């Protein structure tokens, strides 16, 4: 069994790196697990534990879904949280426009569903996770950071491929190993 997910890789640059560094510094005393910049990505589908026997079928699904889709661009813009501001669990960077990523995610999900893969039923909301919050002593600091970056455009990303990753959980944090790359 391999723990798998499908994603668009994002290489953090300039303003995004500076915002993450500043946020980490300002929230340094908080219990937040920051995503390693090398691991930053936009998850299109999380498959979880998957039999290695299904890798061939999975590769065919991704080839078909990505074929003729075409490269596209989107902006990384704004900062927010999931669950909500009173009980934040994830710090994310927004995506604009979202429609092309949503179409790509839907195309992949449909292929997975038809082939019998178990996929999450919740609505796909493209975002870039940069931190997971365990607890906050000073929630006002987070609120100020969110407000200061609410409308900031950090960088433009050119999506050229979809990557099938294996997530290997380690003491030092997850290791994401690419198992296949599928050109758009």
Active site residues: 41, 127
* Torsion (CA) 93, 106, 87, 171 in degrees, nearest 10: -80
- 3-class secondary-structure state, position 12: coil
State how far Cα 44 lies from the chain centre: 7
Structural Rg of the chain based on CA atoms: 17
Q: What are 121's strand-pairing partners?
A: none
Q: How many residues does the chain have?
A: 184
Q: How far is CA 17 from CA 2, 31, 93, 100, 176, in A?
A: 31, 20, 12, 24, 20
**Cα 96 from Cα 126, distance rounded (Å):** 9
**Cα 64 from Cα 132, distance rounded (Å):** 33
């Amino acid at each position: 069994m391999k723990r798998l997910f499908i994603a668009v890789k994002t290489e953090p640059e300039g303003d995004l790196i500076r915002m993450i560094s500043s946020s980490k510094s300002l929230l340094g005393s908080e219990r937040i697990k920051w995503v390693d910049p090398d691991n930053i990505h936009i998850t299109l589908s999380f498959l979880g534990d998957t039999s290695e026997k299904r890798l061939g079928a999975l590769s065919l699904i991704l080839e078909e879904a990505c074929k003729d889709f075409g490269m596209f661009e989107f902006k990384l813009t704004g900062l927010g949280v999931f669950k909500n501001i009173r009980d934040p669990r994830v710090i994310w960077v927004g995506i604009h426009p979202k429609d092309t990523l949503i179409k790509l995610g839907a195309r992949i999900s449909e292929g997975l569903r038809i082939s019998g893969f178990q996929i999450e039923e919740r609505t796909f909301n493209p975002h870039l996770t940069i931190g997971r919050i365990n607890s906050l002593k000073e929630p006002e600091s987070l609120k100020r950071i969110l407000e200061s970056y609410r409308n900031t455009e950090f960088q433009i990303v050119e999506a050229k491929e979809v990557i099938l990753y294996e997530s290997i959980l380690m003491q030092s944090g997850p290791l994401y190993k690419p198992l296949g790359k599928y050109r758009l």
